[in-house]
Amino acid sequence: MMKTKNKYLFNKRLKILKFAKISVAEDGLTSKTFKNISKKYNLDIHELNLLFPNGKNDLLQFALDQLNTELENYCKKLDLIRLPVHKRIRKILLSKIYLMDKEKKFYKKIFLNLLIPKKNFPLPIKLYKSVDQIWFIAGDTSVDFNFYTKRLILAGIYSRVIFFFFNNNNQKLLEDLLDSNLKRVSKIPELKTKLNIFKGLLPKALQFVKKSI
């Protein structure tokens, strides 16, 4: 009974997200988003508020969660295991861009919304979750200092590529940018030695972010 109810509520949230993607792509994610969706699609505003009690932050989080799920499902169809690590990362990142490109205006608007400082929705946490998922899909099993080094390096690469994607439509230049940056992933063993100075501080900082998710 509970599973049926949860599935029903999940499907209702998916329906609202579908409408929200159209609305947000046109007008951005604002305090009036739910009101606009309610009016445009003849939906009960009270039901929207119950489905997303924390308003646009809940909607944003739900959208990002669905994108992550879509990426994992999409990547399961790819033969990643036969590829070197940096090529796995490349394929996963390009897959995420491919998925976002189908609704680029929407994802650009919510990405810009993430850049606005928020007490309860900080960008570093969302960035960490994104790169952590990419390494997970790539099959990362590291537990030592490499674990943190990989995520730190990929966070920089991911940010540059996503910024480029939202502001340009040139796929070749995007892939060139990605390829030039991914050379750093193959140098992680060297960087491990160079970054030993941060060994005591970096894990604690990233663990704090991870626990905050």
What is the per-residue pLDDT for 148?
80
The pLDDT confidence band at residue 147, using thresholds 50, 70 and 90, is confident
pLDDT in tens, 7-28: 899 999 999 999 999 999 999 8
What is the per-residue pLDDT for 181?
87
The pLDDT confidence band at residue 145, using thresholds 50, 70 and 90, is low
Ranges 94-103, 129-138, 150-159, most confident: 94-103
pLDDT in tens, 168-204: 999 999 999 999 888 766 555 544 544 443 444 344 4
Query: CA-CA distance, 43 to 48, in Å (whole number)?
Result: 8
In the predicted model, what is the mean pLDDT of residues 118-146? 80
Mean of pLDDT over the chain:
83
In the predicted model, what is the mean pLDDT of residues 24-36? 90
What is the per-residue pLDDT for 188?
52
Using alpha carbons only, what angle is made at residue 124 by residues 123 and 125, rounded to the nearest 5 degrees?
Answer: 90
Residues 200/173, Cβ–Cβ less than 8 Å: no
DSSP code per residue over 155-212? HHHHHHHHHHHHH---HHHHHHHHHHHHTTGGGHHHHHHHTGGGTTTHHHHHHHHHHH
Q: Exposed, middle or buried: residue 86 (CB in 10 Å: 0-12, 13-18, 19+)? A: middle
DSSP code per residue over 107-172? HHHHHHHHHS--SSS-HHHHHHHHHHHHHHHTT----SHHHHHHHHHHHHHHHHHHHHHHH---HH
What is the per-residue pLDDT for 109?
92
What is the per-residue pLDDT for 205?
43
